[in-house]
């Protein structure tokens, strides 16, 4: 068993102009998780983010959506971890993933930032510590690296939004397993659910 999750962070950019954008996929999942738990996330100035608490598998879990911009996510995450005395290894960061097609979600522990500016800044704020969990929500790639920024900051078409919603639906049931520290089981269950979505994406390419 790995470290049990006690903080779930959803990455995105603040402001109405970014709502529904691909880059806000992580924030969307955490908002949905809060709503499912009957919680309303509230602005916490000390964390520079929207914060709350829900019960998963009978355990209190903190939720955080940084209201810094994506490339300053560490300025929100670090004070939250410090205040609640949560080690980075007990954190799950939910974020958009260019290297996965829409409709696919994947779990990962540790590793680099993969070009994601939110992860890059969190690792910076943690002094290089990369030992935390990630829930990667596929948004696909525009096919040209010069188009990535605009692609991530725009709202996806309805068909793609439906695929993202499916990936979130697949991910929600495995979160209690992460809170129990059952990472291997959670990975197996999530990745099994996602195989059909991956096959469909491969056929479309």
- The answer to whether residue 1 sits within a structural domain is no
d(CA 107, CA 127): 23
- The answer to whether residue 83 sits within a structural domain is yes
pLDDT of residue 197: 63
> pLDDT of 21-36, one tens digit each?
999 999 999 999 999 9
Q: β-pairing, 105-109 with 133-138?
A: antiparallel
Given a cut of 90, is residue 201 above it in pLDDT? no
pLDDT confidence of 1, banded at 50, 70, 90? very low
Considering the candidates 23, 113, 141, 191, report the single residue annotated as catalytic.
Answer: 23
Domain that holds residue 34: 7-204
Catalytic: 141?
no
Mean pLDDT of 64-75: 97
d(CA 37, CA 172): 11
- The answer to whether residue 2 sits within a structural domain is no
Task: Name the percent of the chain lying above pLDDT 70.
Answer: 94
> What CATH number corresponds to the domain at position 104?
3.40.50.1470
pLDDT of residue 115: 87
pLDDT confidence of 140, banded at 50, 70, 90? very high
**What is the number of structural domains in the chain?**
1
What is the per-residue burial (b if ≥16 Cβ within 10 Å, else e) of 37-68?
A: eebebeebeebbbbbbebebeeeebbbbbbbb
pLDDT of residue 204: 62
Mean pLDDT of 67-95: 97
DSSP 23-56: GGHHHHHHHHHHHHTT---EEETTTTEEEEEEEE
Mean pLDDT of 116-120: 96
Given a cut of 60, is residue 175 above it in pLDDT? yes
- The answer to whether residue 64 sits within a structural domain is yes
Q: β-pairing, 105-109 with 49-56?
A: unpaired
pLDDT of residue 114: 87
pLDDT confidence of 200, banded at 50, 70, 90? low
Mean pLDDT of 30-46: 97
């Amino acid at each position: 068993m790995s470290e049990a999750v006690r903080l779930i962070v959803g990455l995105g950019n603040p402001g109405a102009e970014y709502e529904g954008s691909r880059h806000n996929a992580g924030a969307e999942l955490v908002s949905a998780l809060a709503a499912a738990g009957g919680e309303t996330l509230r602005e916490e100035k000390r964390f520079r983010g929207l914060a709350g608490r829900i019960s998963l598998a009978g355990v209190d879990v903190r939720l955080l959506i940084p209201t810094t911009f994506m490339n300053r996510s560490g300025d929100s995450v670090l004070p939250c971890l410090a205040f609640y005395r949560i080690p980075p290894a007990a954190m799950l960061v939910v974020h958009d993933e260019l290297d996965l097609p829409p409709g696919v979600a994947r779990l990962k522990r540790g590793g680099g930032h993969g070009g994601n500016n939110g992860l890059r800044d969190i690792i910076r704020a943690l002094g290089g510590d990369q030992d935390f969990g990630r829930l990667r929500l596929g948004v696909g790639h525009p096919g040209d690296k010069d188009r990535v920024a605009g692609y991530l900051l725009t709202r996806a078409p309805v068909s793609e939004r439906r695929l993202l919603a499916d990936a979130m639906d697949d991910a929600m049931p495995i979160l209690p397993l992460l809170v129990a520290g059952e990472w291997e089981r959670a990975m197996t269950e999530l990745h099994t659910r996602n195989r059909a979505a991956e096959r469909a994406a491969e056929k479309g390419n």
